[in-house]
Amino acid sequence: MPSHPRSWPDGKRVAVLVTVLLESWGENKSPTYFTRTTPLKPGAVDHAGIQWSQYGAKEGIWRIIRVLDACGVPATVLANAKAAELHPDAIRQIIRSGHELGAHAYAQDQYLLNMNVEEQRETIRRSLDILESASGRRPEGWGTPLYSWSSDTVDLLVQEGLRWHADALDTSLPYRQKTRSGTIVALPHSEFLDNRVLRASPRDFYDVYKDTFDYLYAHEPMGLLHLGLHCHFGGRPLIAAMFFKILRYLKEFPDLWFPRHSELVQWFLAQDVEDLSYARRFFG
């Protein structure tokens, strides 16, 4: 059995993954969460919610890119293909700034769980085609909106040639997931995205990530800290300020690794192990 790795490349102690979500909704659709506290009547078109969601591509992604560039941190942007259709200039800037583009289905309000196999296949393929056209490169990875995958989804991702997905909820580190059609690398997603503080203090975003990092750095060498935020909320100044603050704090540590998702996957596959399980790391 291959030896289990004990650190990230070059002896780095903690890896930091940054995921940015660039999302668009269908006609007259909007996020299920919003800063409004009083609900509208059932069936009403939420014009304010629709406008709120459009902030992400209009302004949010651009502010987030500036923060990332100022801190020298690369990110992976999971984008709805519809966002690429509506805002190709944002997609081009993501690539120009050296960030990775992953697929996030076509529209944020389309749930794969509600589709049959062929509908899922068509949605996955169409999304990849659109994002490839907009960016000049076919995405290598995928994140399913709202974790709405079915028992067929991961196998379909393998069939379309994807190397990784970010839908794993049963791990803190990558592992090889086998399907009928082959193997794909399953990556964990962030447990505390920006919308967790929608009606709370934005400072909670900083505190949670700082405290988590401090714990990992002190007690779990080869830990993984995964920061995640949405362009339509995290791209606003009140959250972007906290995002900037936590990145600057992390950059004070020289022994951190800031990979894009595909870089993490490439390193993991080179280790020739099935997983990086907690049990083997600390009890093996």
Q: What's the rounded Cα separation, in Å, for the pair 107 and 97? A: 24
Q: Give the least confident one: 16-20, 140-144, 276-280.
A: 276-280
Q: Two tokens at 201?
A: 């203090």
pLDDT above 80 (res 1): no
Taking the C-alpha atoms of residue 218 and residue 196, their distance in angstroms, rounded to an integer, is 26
Mean pLDDT of 147-152: 97
Q: Which helix (H) or strand (E) holds 167?
A: strand 164-168
pTM tops 0.85 = yes
Q: What is the per-residue pLDDT across 155-181, written as a single tens digit (0 to 9) for each?
A: 999 999 999 999 999 999 999 999 999
The per-residue pLDDT for range 225-274, each reduced to its tens digit, is 999 999 999 999 999 999 999 999 999 999 999 999 999 999 999 999 99
Please give the C-alpha separations between residue 98 and each of 10, 101, 259, in angstroms, as whole numbers: 22, 10, 12
pLDDT of residue 2: 59
Q: What is the mean pLDDT of residues 87-98?
A: 98
- 93-112 pLDDT, tens digit per residue, is 999 999 999 999 999 999 99
Structural domains of the chain ordered from first start: 9-32+46-283 (3.20.20.370)
